[in-house]
Structure 1
Amino acid sequence: MDAADTLDAVREASASGLERLGSDKLLVAVTGADLTSDAVREAAVTRERGRASALAAWADESEGAIADAFDAAASAASERADRIPRDDVTTADAETDALSAHLETVDGTAEQIGAGLVASPLVADRFYLQVVSFFVNEADEGSADAFREMRTAASDLDPARDALAELDDEGRETARDAAVEAIDVAYEEYAETLTEMGLDPKPTC
């Protein structure tokens, strides 16, 4: 199983969760039904900062190409957070999302690659899909375009491919399992939040 096979395996195993995380209910869950521009931006900053923090710590603990992959992803996430206009006080007080909190608990290089470089970009792609749609609906094309660029950058799997290529087959299997687990964490937060609001997290046909 090479890097491409690993990514395909994660997508297949987490297909339902990723699909639901891309639903129009996502921002309702993420913002606690506070569907304002400020709340959406704050959610984006919180997620980018959480990802950057974990990845930067892992980069310091790693070596070679894997450290480079963690460092590149951490720097990119930090830069995205800095580019998003927001209320610093409110954002600083924002509750950490479940995936960011989960990343802080992940041990083992292969597990960190799976959770931080595979799962996080896949979840970010779903998140930014809805952020873009939000600003389109707000008729704020400038913000929509900016977040389209962020979606492309945040969902970049090149660091994951580089890091996975440094692992052996067993390591890639471990990374796959860790990625699936991390996506499950993100989905469970989404589903539980909506359920508490009296909403069904599953799509209706």
Structure 2
Amino acid sequence: MDAESFREAVETAKQTQLNRLGSSKLLLALTGADLSESAVLRAAAASEHAARETFETWATDETNERARAAFESTAAQEDEHLRRVLDVVGEDIDPPDGPGPMHAYLRGRDDTIERVAAGMVGRGLVSIRAHTQVIGFFVNEANTQKADLFRELKTETNETLTTGLELLDECCDDDDWERAQMVAEYVVQLAYDDYADGLESLGVDPKPLC
């Protein structure tokens, strides 16, 4: 296996979950059905905050030099993303009460390959879809400036995903790819389960209407 086939395998295995995470219902789940601009921005800021904390935690004890550098770079990027979103919000927000299921799992990883596969690839696949929905929201609101901001954040998040795939190509032996795929898929599943639980608490079916 290589990076390209790895990504294809994860996206194929979790196609249903990723498609639903890429639907307009995602913002309902993230905001508790408050589809105001401020609620969407606060949800985005909370996501960037959680990611920054995860990558900062990893950067403190990662033994693989290139992975540590990637985690440090990603933590700095997520910090910049958070600041840019907060600039649009116009005020600081209280940090989330906890990391949420996905980031709680990520912060429990202490193996380089699992961190890269789960945090940079699995989470990246989820985050790209979240950015797409935020972009669509602001396009519908005719707010070009905010839509462009999240287009930039999405591009940079996609670059992080690419870096993660390159790292896996560098670090994985033949026996490592299966483990990497398992944790990447599990992160997508955690994100989906959290999304589905959020919708069900609102009385919304997470499955698409046929």
The alpha-carbon deviation at position 116 of structure 1 amounts to: 0.5
Partner of 1:193: 198
Distance 1:49 1:89 in 2: 11
For 1:166-205, what aligned pairs fall within 5 Å after superposition? Answer: 166-205=171-210
Partner of residue 162, structure 1? 166
C-alpha change, 1:88 and 1:119, in structure 2 (3 Å) is farther
Aligned length: 205
Deviations 1:122-146 (A, max 9, x none): 1011101110111111111110111
Q: Contact 2:114 / 2:179 at 8 angstroms: preserved in 1?
A: yes
Q: Which runs of no fewer than 5 residues in structure 1 stay unpaired?
A: none
- Of stretches 61-70 and 143-152 in structure 1, the one that deviates more from structure 2 is 61-70
CA RMSD of aligned residues (A): 1.7
1:23 corresponds in structure 2 to 23
Residues 116 and 167, structure 2, Cα contact 8 Å, conserved in 1: yes
Q: Percent identity?
A: 37
33-42 or 155-164, larger mean C-alpha shift: 155-164
- Deviation sequence 1:94-150 (CA, Å, 0-9, x none): 664432233222232221111111011110111011101111111111101111111
Distance across 2 between alignment mates of 1:18 and 1:91: 29
Question: Post-superposition shift, 1:67?
Answer: 1.5
After TM superposition, the structure 1 = structure 2 runs for residues 28-67 of structure 1, keeping only pairs within 5 Å, are 28-62=28-62, 63-67=64-68
User: Which residue type is aligned with residue 79 of structure 1?
Assistant: E
Alignment gaps of 5+ in structure 2: none
With the length of structure 2 as denominator, give the TM-score of the two structures: 0.90
**Is residue 2:106 matched to residue 1:103?**
yes
